[in-house]
A = this chain, B = another copy of it.
Amino acid sequence: MFELLARDKYSKARRGRLRTAHGVIDTPVFMPVGTQGSVKAVSPRELRELEAQIVLGNTYHLLVRPGIDVIKHFGGLHRFMNWDGPILTDSGGYQIFSLAKLRKISEEGVEFQNHVDGTPAFISPEIAMEIQTTLGSDIAMVLDECTPYPCKHDYAARSVEMTTRWAKRCKEALQRRKENVQRSTSNAQRSIEEDQQSAIRNPQSAIKRQLLFGIIQGATFDDLRKASAQAIVDLGFDGYAIGGVSVGEPQEEMMRAVESCEPFLPADKPRYAMGLGTPPQMLEMIARGIDMFDCVLPTRLARNGTGFTPTGTINLKNADFALDKSPIEENCACYACSEFSRSYIRHLVKAEEILGLRLITLHNLHFYLDLMKQARTAIEREEFDEFRRGFASKYKARDADLAVTQ
């Protein structure tokens, strides 16, 4: 499933390729977040034009609206949202812990009331897998408990142990579902290409190829991160995610959490740092051996009038841009920068015109996706370290941007 194409000499950066039921993903990769079955303000056609390789869907949000039955009726999320590329779904756990009300966690699972209309619901590892096979995602995530920051060692330790038991139950539940599908469909041998065509026509066949990633927790404690990584890797998954990062902890803690886990992760599986991050953070994570990222920053900041540039973010509402004929970013190839000035986009944002946030969203996603493309090329050319340092020296982080990461 995962092929390691190149490794950087001076860091742990990796250039890889992941095969899924709906297509190939070149890593390092940024995954735009399609929270409620739509990457906010962007159409599937625009995602393809941006060369997005994979999008993320949030199980919790889809469970609340439109409900899994609706998506089941369409044969899965791909058909519902009209996106035929790869999709990764989370387990729903993160949002249950951050958005839902009246949570009650037990060994069995989590009881909660959704944040929209308070409808009570229950999710267990088995149910999380059932939902994700119904969504038909290419990559599913295990149900985990994402501990907050700060978190006591004692609580984090017990949570890590339960997350491991849940991970095992997820793996077993998905295995059973795959066996059921296998029994109910033809056993004919087919090539991957035939399978991929088949996945688009028949969501059932995609489930047979659904990948499952384990999630490593352990808060900010080295010993727990290590123990969690070992336990999750021992269970064996198609990829490994580092969860419980970018939850408000200082950046050094975030880097340390990844550094604690990384030595235990097998080289031949993809690694995914969940919910990250700023452009320099992603490059730092790549240097620490991470392959996959998802983050709401480019879309969320866009809706706030903030655009990414190689020197840092700019607030397009700023009066300085009132007469500025230049694009958000000079020499950027995106639609917004090819055709529109900062002045016009500033006007649209100030006048609350939807086109304003649409254009900044397209630019910001292009910026993130292009940064990953540049990182891939740099790793292939053995120039990643130079690239990362060059980028960091020019990019000036703003605290205000980080306030909206979650």
Contact surface of A with B, Cβ cutoff 8 Å: 36-38, 40-45, 61, 65-66, 70, 73-74, 80-82, 322-323, 325, 335, 339-341, 343-344, 346-348, 350-351, 353-359
Contact = CB atoms under 8 A, between A and B. Distances in A.
A355 B43 contact: yes
A362 to B, nearest CB: 9
A157 to B, nearest CB: 38
Contact of A37 (B45, B74, B344, B358): B344
B43 A353 contact: no
B82 A340 contact: yes
A359 B42 CA distance: 11
Given A66-B347, A322-B70, A344-B82, A40 B353 contact: yes
Contacts of A41: 354-355, 358
A344 B45 contact: no
A343 B80 contact: yes
A73 B326 CA distance: 13
Given A73-B323, A353-B38, A343 B66 contact: yes
A70 B345 CA distance: 12
Contacts of A339: 44-45, 82
Contacts of A355: 38, 40-43
What is the oligomeric copy number?
2
Contacts of A65: 347, 350-351
Contact of A358 (B66, B341, B351, B354): B354
Nearest to A323: B73
A343 B358 CA distance: 23
A347 B82 contact: no
B70 A343 contact: yes
Nearest to A80: B344
Nearest to A36: B351
A37 B348 contact: yes
A164 to B, nearest CB: 34
A74 B339 CA distance: 14
Contacts of A347: 36-37, 65-66, 70, 80
A104 to B, nearest CB: 26
A248 to B, nearest CB: 26
23 contacts: A36-B347, A36-B351, A36-B353, A37-B348, A37-B351, A37-B353, A38-B351, A38-B353, A40-B353, A41-B358, A43-B355, A45-B335, A45-B339, A61-B351, A65-B350, A65-B351, A66-B351, A70-B343, A74-B341, A74-B344, A82-B340, A354-B357, A358-B358
A122 B16 CA distance: 64
B81 A344 contact: yes
